[in-house]
Amino acid sequence: MTLRSLVLAAVLAVPAVACGSSAPPASSPSSAMAESRIASADGVSIHYIVEGSGPAVVLAHCLDCNLHYWDVAAADLARDHRVVRLDLAGNGASGTDRKTWSIDAFAGDIRAVVNAARVDRFTIVGHSMSGTIALEAALELGDRVTGIVPVDSVLDVDAHTPAEARARLTAQIRGDHHNFIDAVLPTLLPKNPDPKVVARVRADAMAGDPDRTAAILESVLAYREDLALDRLAVPIVAVDADFHPVALDHDRAHAPQFDARVIKDTGHFLMLDKPTEFSSTLRDVIESIESGVAKRRPI
């Protein structure tokens, strides 16, 4: 299995520019935490939280995770940013009645939330499968996205998973979901994982629906991240764990502005493994995008 398929498949089993849309009406953001729901384009109810004030940041989680995986990072950012967290469809407190589990539909969840929250321009942070979703959201929303921060995601855009391999993997998930989780989970953890973190992500994964997980996995692994990077000009700065290295040369061949920060001795759930260091690194990356230190694609 390729690096990309291993990481993405595991994350989906473990909790773990085209046409731009019109901007929503301007409004004065509130610093108080507000919890709400909005219907995505296909009618699925999407749960989200908005807090803080300042430049906007959108946080999107991996499959079978939820917006609370960002609690520590969101609290730090909300001191001087407007932070929007959402439960993607099929996850957390959002609806599960989606007919087609596609990357475009998940990008639609983000579009619906930022429009409802009256967020015009924002940096998008996507963990694992949401790194892929962030690429599509940036293509669809155009200049409204000021930067992309893949978190342990978009590790090697030249690593493609053949259709036959995707079919075998999704069949395994549907046929033996719990054993699949137990087999893959150790490959996503640091050498000495916190037992509480392990218990948390395992419980969330076990509660996931195998058919939904398999369908989303197929969609994520079939998505052409390389072609998306070819079209994106915004700054892209990843925050990665060190257990599977990012292929910067491959990613930069498609997006010369691609950069990455690595947090040592972490696993795939680095925001849980080292929450304080992760929050500090994420803040630094976001501020580098906002200040212009992180550059757009060279002209």
Q: Which domains does the chain have, with CATH numbers?
A: 3-291 (3.40.50.1820)
pLDDT band at 74 (very low <50, low <70, confident <90, very high): very high
List all residues 6 or more positions away from 36 whose beta carbon is below 8 Å from its beta carbon.
Answer: 47, 48, 49, 50, 116, 117
pLDDT band at 299 (very low <50, low <70, confident <90, very high): confident
- Average of per-residue pLDDT across 17-43: 64
**Is the predicted pLDDT of residue 5 greater than 50, yes or no?**
no
Greater model confidence, 65 or 31 = 65
> pTM above the 0.95 mark?
no
How large a percentage of the chain has pLDDT more than 90? 87
- Average of per-residue pLDDT across 250-270: 97
**Is the predicted pLDDT of residue 29 greater than 50, yes or no?**
no
Exposure class string for 60-70: b at 16+ Cβ within 10 A, else e: bbbbbbbbebb
**Could you give the 3-state DSSP secondary structure of residue 48?**
strand
pLDDT band at 26 (very low <50, low <70, confident <90, very high): very low
**Is the predicted pLDDT of residue 179 greater than 70, yes or no?**
yes
What is the rounded CA–CA span in Å between residue 159 and residue 283? Answer: 29
pLDDT band at 31 (very low <50, low <70, confident <90, very high): low
**Is the predicted pLDDT of residue 14 greater than 50, yes or no?**
no
List all residues 6 or more positions away from 218 whose beta carbon is below 8 Å from its beta carbon.
Answer: 166, 170
Q: What is the model's pLDDT at position 23?
A: 39
The Cα angle at residue 149 between residues 210 and 56, in degrees rounded to 5: 105
Q: Per residue in 160-172, pLDDT tens?
A: 999 999 999 999 9
Mean pLDDT of the chain: 91
What is the rounded CA–CA span in Å between residue 285 and residue 272? Answer: 18
